[in-house]
Chain A
Amino acid sequence: MSDIVEKTLTALPGLFLQNQPGGGPAAAKASFSSRLGSLVRGITALTSKHEEEKLIQQELSSLKATVSAPTTTLKMMKECMVRLIYCEMLGYDASFGYIHAIKLAQQGNLLEKRVGYLAVSLFLHESHELLLLLVNTVVKDLQSTNLVEVCMALTVVSQIFPREMIPAVLPLIEDKLQHSKEIIRRKAVLALYKFHLIAPNQVQHIHIKFRKALCDRDVGVMAASLHIYLRMIKENSSGYKDLTGSFVTILKQVVGGKLPVDFNYHILLQVLQKYILLLYLTMILTISAIFIFLSLAILFECVHTVYSIYPKSELLEKAAKCIGKFVLSPKINLKYLGLKALTYVIQQDPTLALQHQMTIIECLDHPDPIIKRETLELLYRITNAQNVTVIVQKMLEYLHQSKEEYVIVNLVGKIADVLVLNTVDTYAPDNAWFIQTMNAVFSVGGDVMHPDIPNNFLRLLAEGFDDETEDQQLRLYAVQSYLTLLDMENVFYPQRFLQVMSWVLGEYSYLLDKETPAEVIAKLYKLLMNDSVSSETKTWLIAAVTKLTPQAHSFDTVERLIHEFTISLDTCMRQHAFELKHLHENVELMKSLLPVDRSCEDLVVDASLSFLDGFVAEGLSQGAAPYKPHHQRQEEKLSQEKVLNFEPYGLSFSSSGFTGRQSPAGISLGSDISGNSAETGLKETNSLKLEGIKKLWGKEGYLPKKESKTGDESGALPVPQESIMENVDQAITKKDQSQVLTQSKEEKEKQLLASSLFVGLGSESTVNLLGKADTVSHKFRRKSKVKEAKSGETTSTHNMTCSSFSSLSNVAYEDDYYLNTLHDRGDKELKTFSLNSELLDSESLTELPLVEKFSNCSLSTPSLFADNSMEIFHPPQSTAASVAKESSLASSFLEETTEYIHSNAMEICNNETISVSSYKIWKDDCLLMVWSVTNKSGLELKSANLEIFPAENFKVTEQPGCCLPVMEAESTKSFQYSVQIEKPFTEEILSGFISYHMMDAHSAQLEFSVNLSLLDFIRPLKISSEDFGKLWLSFANDVKQNVKMSESQAALPFALKTLQQKLRLHIIEIIGNEGLLACQLLPSIPCLLHCRVYADVLALWFRSSCSTLPDYLLYQCQKVMEGS
């Protein structure tokens, strides 16, 4: 009975859908869809935006008329709503319909209510005042006995609900936590989560109920409650420590496969991140992937976790491996995440960057700007004094290309961070480079950059470094470069840049010997007269002029300027001009006020203005009223207004720091000057950010802070590397120059770039070989060796190859080390090289992207090793062995299954690594599906796993041995599944997939599907004629049908023979022109067949205990009879 119900249920929506265009109840729907349809079609037919606007306005006005007409039925209202939503989506205002949406949700029946709620949730936002009108409806629906209404109400509550009305519905929703339906419980939990987000205080008292939800028997409810816990734990991580046990239990269940692997799994992980659960993390890191994307997402979270908790070497190793998997993935999305993860861990473990340097280089030239940006972010984290030029150059390149403001701000901040903010240890290699880079940064970043950047830059210039002459040179260079920049015609610089220029020119023009201050002033004056310069910048400019005036000898320009600006409309400018005018009258005073190169010294301002005491005394003696500060005057004014003070305390005013006499003008003068010159001295440095966190935690736990910044990361590389490097060196010296040239130019460039980028990250030995060992103490005197190498002319070719090769073998070495490969590290020197060669040779077999990089040098490497008389391994060539495998496969299954009939093996899917073929074995009690999986590749496959998607008509049970931990190279393994039928059908598809891990790379999966027919489950039923008679009477479901037979098969025996062979029916008896047959559908549903032949017609009469089986069998019979 139940399958009838189910069948009808599933058929029902189809029925309705089919009926749509027809009349009757579905007519309304049809008209609705056609009206929306005509609107949509109308819009798509239009060509211009203007026409569209016209059409929509027309539509809206007609809608407006309809919705407000009293005759409009709810049904019509519903379709109006849908069209309104559509218009609103196109970006037109449909606010007149909002109130009607609420009305519809309130009054409509289920269908209309649903659309009404949807419209409300789309139209309104949390703080919309109309939302208050919805509260009553929601309350009513929450109390409804109809599940669907409750669901709708809960859905709308968890999307938008006015905060102040939460108390009205809270008890109702709380009740729903105990509801018998899990969907209601789940939605209630999510609604409470929403409440927790918008008003945490209101739901505080039901925290205990959340705990119940966490232990709910339904997975969905449990998962929903995790959202709440994630939030609460983020806010207060110590408060929920006692729940760790529950989380771990859930996690265990997931890992143990008791619960479905789920999205929310990652939330759980995030929850757990807060607690240290090394054990379980290890477990998760090793689980094999079923849902590939999902598991990768989880892996990513794990890696995140591993690096954010207290480090444990074993875990870190695993995490590093995972990151490798991500970075090396050919899929761009995974690569992106790999880079992200690298960025995240790089500060703790810079050697990881070394392992992946070639990938990073590749990503740097990636066509996708997002990948590029992520790479730059990564590089930014590993910037040091040696690689700064290259990295900053890359950043600037990117900066010039990008247009997005957010990106520019971000990147400019980073460059400046590298160069300026980090004043204690700026990485800039020399003056010219530093100033030029800053110029580029200022002109691109311009006005969007953070205001700290110019301030810090100026402070750096002003405060200088240890070496005074060096500082002077830097300043001189800055002044010169700015003057040249200003000389250029028709170039507009950002205001910030102009401000920086004017300050520098004002302060340090005295360093110039060629140009006089007057000439500088003339240039500044030109700028001042420029309309495109903002008034703020003009004040900077005029301040610079003021500073230069005492040094100048001719005052033409200054006087012109004063003349010009004392009548300026801008009060600020006017004030400055007047100040300049008055100071200009007294040059001596001006000189002492504006000393040369004293910007770093604090001006001592007599804030009490004691030098005016005499003047004040004089005034007082002449009868002037004494000065009252502002608050005193205010108080007096108030006390005059109120006769009686009824308040317990009088109004109090905070007294300012300045007491007694204070003149606003004096203060403003002082602050103007200091604002332009000395303010930078007070600045707090932001450099803390970059230091300190560099390497506190390492693989071995806490690392004591080391002195040197560059040597910091050494020690992570194993010691023997040095000797290997030397070996390479020797080998290369023996080598022919011509061999060196076999490397393509592009490769060389890339490797050069790599060596220049990752310099300083590895151990000292690497640096030595690269010829960059000379660590100079002073940062500015350091010449960029990278540049020299790059120019290529000065250094010999030999030198170049040396460096590239050493970096290369470095990578290779890292690679095997990381892969943890075949041999133990007994005889390290030899082994490493042999491994290298193996890697190089086997590059055609393995898919490792990294290995491809070495393809170019694979030509030269053998001779390299030959020179050192080392053994070269040749991995087995296993390219075209699949043919042989095919045959062995066939023989292997024949052996074990001879006693049953089986189908021929068919290859159902394959890829370069594996091929899967399947065959059926029709056993007496079930259908046995066998999938044989052949590993074609020369590599071991790990955790090969075959999974069958659940299908509604079957029950699939796996036979033992379906998950293989390891699958050797070129071997064949078979997976057996027994299939039971649950419901009759004609033909169904059974599909599944096989997943496996390549030894070191990504995991992969391969999908396949197999057709199963009803006949696979039909077995002969061997009974006697008497039994047949008894059974025949007991069965209620029967089907009769006449089948026409062709001439050739007209005889009954022949027809029955066909049925016996093709359908596996058992012939019980043949009596004259009648025949009795029987069969059973596995596991044990009998079906009887009575046949009678007259003329060329075969009358078939089926009876069975199952209602549907006769139909299906009849169909099969017809097919067979027609086909034969």
Chain B
Amino acid sequence: MAEDGNRDAPAAGLGALWGALRALLPRTKEELRLDLGESVERSVVLLLQQAADLFYGGRRSECLQTSEVVLDYSWEKLNTGLWQDVDKDWRRVYAFGCLLKAVCLCEAPGDATTVAAALRVCDMGLLMGAAIFDDILIKVAAVLQAHLLPGKRPAHIPAPEQPCLKKARNSHVSIPDLRSERAVPRLRCPSLQHFRKHHLVPQTPVILEGVADHWPCMKKWSLEYIQEVAGCRTVPVEVGSRYTDEEWSQRLMTVSEFIDSYVLNEPRDVGYLAQHQLFDQIPELKQDISIPDYCCLGDGEEEEITINAWFGPPGTVSPLHQDPQQNFLAQVLGRKYIRLYSPQESEAVYPHDTHLLHNTSQVRPCGIAAPRPPAVRRPGTDLCLCRWTWRIPTWRGSPGSPRPRSCPASCARESCCSSPRSTGTTCGPWT
């Protein structure tokens, strides 16, 4: 866990940090220029130039102030309209603000808290911004993280106590009985042709065994490892049983805080790090995984492959939903129960009629006979799911990735089927 490390970091150490950060930036202010299109207003362009002038002029606190203005204004643009319609230039402006702010924060001598704050700013730029200056925020984050050695991590202050308005969660987790249901077929390392002919083309799900055996994550990943590699990084976490519930919300916290509050220590609320492109944010983790060869059989380009991570405690349940894309799900740790319904059953699952939730069912599947076979994925297996199959419990949001911090807390809630419990239980630290 995060511990209160040595707060009196030697001045030489911090001087080295500033030097390392400064070296990542261009030498002259002319090179720190973004090519921006028409959608970025002239006044903002002036402000960016001003910020660069202040930075290279050594006027740190004024540069910080100007960066804040840039961040606040571009944040408003990022929250206007649908996320997929937000002009990429505004996300680059936001990343620019994060870059200057993070670096300026580290210029003056500070303690581990300052460096952690700067890393958080970097992460905000990575989460909400777009790549600038050749992924400079990744490099800055790496430098800051290296400076935050485990011994130097700031003390983790637990979040203020929130009233527990929900009943205590039933900690008994039952393993569903699969005998009465049809299981998804399993294949061991099928050839590409076999996979395409028997599953991709006819759109039938399959469990592939042996495909991910050699991935480093299978041996390396544990809670301790994740803490070490990514503990101080800020990620979006969903809090609440289901994203269709009224109390559901999205929060930003470090991976350490997430593990402390929602994975260990008998959490009161359900927290789920779900559908987050963690591997773009933290390249060290990306090195532990591979992309299955079968992905090259898909329609799109390789650049269109997105890799998301799901990380949560036992007992997380995602509502029945569907995806517009083909998916491979790889289970690294723990076990997950998945129930699938064919697209032909779409009417029977009562999708919400709202734009936001039209890919989500209003009902919670109970113990009725499932028309499609469910699957239990054990660690080390890959599950291939075809487009538009209804499935639980892994979830995806509405078309377009969700923005951190801008989620509806009170969705219009449709009536659910009156099943008291869902059978989508899972166990193990990873779901």
**A, B: real partners:** no
Q: Contact residues of B with A, CB < 8 Å?
A: none
A residues bordering B, Cβ < 8 Å? Answer: none
